[in-house]
Amino acid sequence: MSLIIPENYHDILGGVEATEKAIKVVKDMFQNNLSAQLVLLRVTAPMMVLSGTGINDDLNGTEQPVSFSVRDMDGAKAEVVHSLAKWKRLKLAEMGVPPGRGIYTDMNALRPEEELDNIHSIYVDQWDWEATIAPGDRNLDFLKKLVRRIYEAIKVTENKLYVEFPALVPCLPENVYFIHSEQLLQRYPGFSPKEREDAIAREHGAVFIIGIGGKLSDGNTHDGRAADYDDWSTPNSDGYSGLNGDLLLWNPVLGHAFEISSMGIRVDREALERQLTERGQEWKKQLYYHRMLLQDRLPLTIGGGIGQSRLCMYLLRKAHIGEIQCGLWGEDMRRRCLEGGIVLL
């Protein structure tokens, strides 16, 4: 997505002070709603992990993390997290959290290779969450149940926000629509993945696209996903593969689909073996995290991340994530935003 300047855009909240107040309302309210819906305990999380352990998120496998040497640890190399997708599973094992309960945390990451635009910045802030599940929960119905609970938490937040800020009229549909990425490809042949997302989100308002990361019938994936956390290869009850996906909302300000969360049932030992082989990453089996999983020393889990600034941006009807968070932006972007009525923090 290149920079979008909506026509006749203006801040309906009336300025930075009201925006800052509304941001706090959203963050306080949503995390309480999320915790209640999924039975989650808030925990403290790291901003950096040791390199070479396999704990950091590889994202699409090409992004390089911010790294540094720790002088007081004999120069050991550490790196700023991309996300906490795998760390959370280790934490659940350490805490002995039983099925049906989980954890969430404030995740702060740096992704300096992001292409900066309305919704992407170097600084990433998420509610990262993870819950322990039973073997019988590794199915599509269970995934959909938790997606609906998360969506309900978003809707409750939107409605309560309207009470305090009447300019923010609710626009989310009653229900979230589910579709597999292969079904989406068949419905919109000739469209790019992003064009397919725009089309389905415009039609339904809120959509969960299943099976992100697995190859489709055209030989491509809908979007990138690492091989060692989300399960995108296990056959599901809809006749396709994948127990993961992305939650998208139609953004009326930008006129595009808007990814608010990536989540899924995590790989078990068999799925990890299969997905590492498919990606040619068998060497990862020697890493600490992967050894733990292959030895069945980690619980079965489901989890994901929900963008904090993204959710605030959507609910507060902002055109740029820089209206929510303080980031680094090029002078040309700052100039164009200012000319279009977008005030970056």
Q: Which residues are annotated as catalytic?
A: 57, 111, 126, 246, 259, 262
State how far the Cα of 105 lies from the Cα of 238, in Å rounded to an integer.
32
Cβ-contact 261, 148 below 8 angstroms: no
CA distance readout (Å), 315 to 65, 93, 327: 30, 35, 20
Half-sphere exposure of 292 (CA within 13 A, CB side): 19
User: Please, what is the end-to-end C-alpha distance for the chain in angstroms?
Assistant: 21
State how far the Cα of 204 lies from the Cα of 341, in Å rounded to an integer.
29
Beta strands in the chain (DSSP E): 40-42, 48-50, 67-70, 76-80, 102-110, 123-132, 177-180, 206-210, 244-251, 256-265, 301-307
State how far the Cα of 83 lies from the Cα of 128, in Å rounded to an integer.
8
Helix, strand and coil content of the chain, in percent to the nearest 5, comes to 35, 20, 45
State how far the Cα of 66 lies from the Cα of 58, in Å rounded to an integer.
12
State how far the Cα of 185 lies from the Cα of 187, in Å rounded to an integer.
5
Nearest to 181 by CA among 241, 235, 138: 241
